Amino acid sequence: MVKKKICVIGLGYIGLPTSALLASRGYDVHGVDVVQSVVDIINQGKIHIVEPELDTFVKAAVNSGKLKADIKPANADIFIIAVPTPFNDGFVPNIDYVVSATKAIAPYLQEGNIVILESTSPVGTTDLVEETLSKERPDLFEIDNSTYKIQHSKLFTAHCPERVLPGHIMRELVENDRIVGGTTPEATKITAEFYREFVAGEVLETDAKTAEMAKLTENSFRDTNIAFANELSMLCDKFGINVWELIKLANRHPRVNILNPGAGVGGHCIAVDPWFIVHAGGESAKLIKTSREVNNYKTEWVIEKIKNAALKFENENGRKAKVACMGLAFKPDIDDLRESPALYITRRLKADGLDILAVEPNIDNHKEFEIVNYQKTLEQADIVTFLVAHKEFKKLDIKTDLDFCGVLNI
Ligand SMILES: NC(=O)c1ccc[n+]([C@@H]2O[C@H](COP(=O)([O-])OP(=O)(O)OC[C@H]3O[C@@H](n4cnc5c(N)ncnc54)[C@H](O)[C@@H]3O)[C@@H](O)[C@H]2O)c1
């Protein structure tokens, strides 16, 4: 192991598992988060997010003294930035967290350090990180006085996007192939060598912009393919065809592989990252933009379907229906509610005056809804609507026309 001390900025779903894994491999890890309670929980050897195996890794890492959390960065050989990259109103990428993390590490940098941006980022963000560092720490850069361009950096700056699947993060951090793109060929090489120390998958070398675009491309590919399935589901509803049966049949073609439709697309990757391309690509990003719109429209369509069913019940029974919203998470078998269409649907139905029973087997409570046990809910509900295909729901013997995630069909 050439480099020993790592400073990880942002201890969420990506930064914390990465920190714990590196600590388990013998690195000294200084983890940084701006939220004091996150720092405190980790220093007690506990975790603030739900992810299988992570608790064991963090406990061992903290007990061995290899992982310490702090509110401030410290000197290190390698700095890894894993802070959020959401979007602002109008789907404009927000890289404020990246910029503020970059500024926060600047005073601690020394010649020869590696700075890695792991956050999913719009094309050009790694260059911006380097530019920001050159302003904060001019002593580490040679700048051309006439063009103000960086001629030489005493740091190695690179992007290495993360592509782990929540629920399998500890395994995928090691097994997945990784893409590393530096702002210079040397930065690419030295950063790739670091990843090869703990990644069993292949570490593929490119430049920073291609690495940034690769991550955005992966998620846009998924989004576009789900949009196709979602559009099919709305067409099938119009034509009186069971979309799940249709997809099963079509997928018997040796070169067809249609994904499953759902209540929309959520999570803070697939529902967000394509907008980074659309924002920068403008008119050239037609298909990617339309896919985002189709997936968002599917969520509105689901809301209308449920409202119509509730209205029909009320007309027929002379009282309001109790509507069970089965699932709030953005996908099956996780507790992550970020950008969740199911949560959005439940919220909208409640706001529009429907009598909602909110079910989410993966969380105990929620600030907006009373979380009701799913078996109890089924006894009380007049209308059952499946929004997320959680494993608990698959065993249920229930009939409903409002299965938007195929839990009764797949
Ligand atoms: N979660 C995933 O499955 C996943 C997968 C691939 C890529 N990513 C990308 O990785 C990045 C991080 O995502 P995440 O899921 O870990 O986010 P997260 O919200 O779980 O964690 C981010 C953490 O960073 C902290 N933070 C914010 N600003 C900070 C700062 N200036 N200094 C120190 N800490 C700061 C927050 O308090 C938070 O704890 C995002 O760009 C995301 O798109 C996430």
What are 192-213's pLDDT values in tens digits? 999 999 999 999 999 999 999 9
The average confidence (pLDDT) of the chain is 96
Percent of the chain exceeding pLDDT 70 equals 99
Using CB atoms within 10 A of its CB, is residue 117 exposed (0-12), middle (13-18) or buried (19+)? buried
Confidence of residue 409 (pLDDT cuts 50, 70, 90): confident
Query: 220 C-alpha vs ligand 1 centroid, how far in Å?
Result: 20
Q: What is the rounded distance in angstroms from the CA atom of residue 110 to the CA atom of residue 137?
A: 10
Q: What is the rounded distance in angstroms from the CA atom of residue 309 to the CA atom of residue 402?
A: 9
Which residue's CA is the closest to the ligand 1 atom numbered 13?
A: 84
- The span from the first CA to the last CA of the chain, in angstroms, equals 47
Among residues 325, 338, 323, 331, the alpha carbon closest in space to that of 381 is found at 323
30-76 pLDDT per residue, tens: 999 999 999 999 999 999 988 999 999 999 999 999 999 999 999 99
Query: 45 C-alpha vs ligand 1 centroid, how far in Å?
Result: 20
pLDDT: which is higher, 146 or 74 = 74
359-404 pLDDT per residue, tens: 999 999 999 999 999 988 999 999 999 999 999 999 898 889 999 9
State the closest ligand 1 atom to the C-alpha of 85, by its place in the atom list counted from 1: 41
9-36 pLDDT per residue, tens: 999 999 999 999 999 999 999 999 999 9
Which residue's CA is the closest to the ligand 1 atom numbered 25?
A: 10
Tokens of 285: 């990003």
Percent of the chain exceeding pLDDT 90 equals 92
Using CB atoms within 10 A of its CB, is residue 19 exposed (0-12), middle (13-18) or buried (19+)? buried
Using CB atoms within 10 A of its CB, is residue 403 exposed (0-12), middle (13-18) or buried (19+)? buried
SS3 71: coil
94-111 pLDDT per residue, tens: 999 999 999 999 999 999
State the closest ligand 1 atom to the C-alpha of 165, by its place in the atom list counted from 1: 3
Tokens of 293: 């719109």
Beta-carbon-side half-sphere exposure of residue 228 (alpha carbons within 13 Å): 12
Catalytic residue among 7, 68, 160, 269: 269
Q: What pLDDT does residue 62 have? A: 98
Catalytic residue among 66, 68, 215, 289: 215
State the closest ligand 1 atom to the C-alpha of 15, by its place in the atom list counted from 1: 16
Mean pLDDT of 73-99: 96
Close Cβ partners of 215 (under 8 Å, ≥ 6 residues apart): 120, 121, 161, 162, 163, 179, 273
Among residues 382, 348, 386, 385, the alpha carbon closest in space to that of 368 is found at 348
Query: 107 C-alpha vs ligand 1 centroid, how far in Å?
Result: 22
Which residue's CA is the closest to the ligand 1 atom numbered 39?
A: 12
Which strand (E) or helix (H) includes residue 4?
A: none
Mean pLDDT of 258-274: 94
Query: 16 C-alpha vs ligand 1 centroid, how far in Å?
Result: 9
Q: What is the rounded distance in angstroms from the CA atom of residue 382 to the CA atom of residue 159?
A: 51
215 included as an active-site residue? yes
Which residues sit opposite 80 in a β-bridge?
8, 116
State the closest ligand 1 atom to the C-alpha of 269, by its place in the atom list counted from 1: 43
230-256 pLDDT per residue, tens: 999 999 999 999 999 999 999 999 999
Residue 128 CA: distances (Å) to CA of 103, 108, 215 = 11, 18, 17
Residue identified by tokens 């790694």 is 126
Which strand (E) or helix (H) includes residue 240?
A: none
pTM of the model: 0.92
Query: 65 C-alpha vs ligand 1 centroid, how far in Å?
Result: 23
SS3 224: helix
Across 146-297, the runs of DSSP E, i.e. the strands, are: 150-153, 156-159, 178-182, 203-207
Pocket test for ligand 1, best of 13, 125, 164, 168 (most atoms within 8 A of CB): 13
> What lines the ligand 1 site, CB under 6 Å?
9-15, 32-35, 38, 82-85, 97, 100-101, 104, 119-120, 162-164, 166, 268-269
SS3 142: strand
Pocket test for ligand 1, best of 129, 165, 268, 272 (most atoms within 8 A of CB): 268
Asked whether the predicted pLDDT for residue 344 surpasses 60, the reply is yes
Q: What pLDDT does residue 2 have? A: 56
**For 121, which DSSP code?**
-
236 included as an active-site residue? no
State the closest ligand 1 atom to the C-alpha of 35, by its place in the atom list counted from 1: 37
Query: 120 C-alpha vs ligand 1 centroid, how far in Å?
Result: 9
